[in-house]
Amino acid sequence: MVDQCSLCEKPRQPRSEYCSLHEAALTNLEAQYANWLIAFGASLSKHDYFSSLLSLNETGDAVKRLITRNHTNAVPQ
């Protein structure tokens, strides 16, 4: 169904392919990369960022789904 989030069955947000949960997770995922760059001295690739997030128990399912779906080329299989 077109009005559903592309990652779950919740209604998607206007002008987005995601529901409010996954849209917020995407926004946070993108925003926090800048903070991780500061913490790691600007030497952190997006590949390493995504891999690190996937390995953390604290990372939520919504973020893990986004990484797995949208950045599979950046995450080791």
Taking the model in full, what pTM does it have?
0.78
Extract the tokens encoding 16.
Answer: 């987005």
3-state secondary structure of 10: coil
Q: Is the pLDDT of residue 77 over 50?
A: no
Q: Is the pLDDT of residue 75 over 60?
A: no
pLDDT interval class at 73 (50, 70, 90)? low
Domains held by the chain: number: 1
Burial string for 23-49 (b: 16+ CB within 10 Å, else e) reads bebbeebeeeeeeeeeeeeeeeeeeeb
Domain that includes residue 46, residue range: 1-77
Instruction: Name the H helices within the chain.
Output: 20-39, 46-55, 61-70
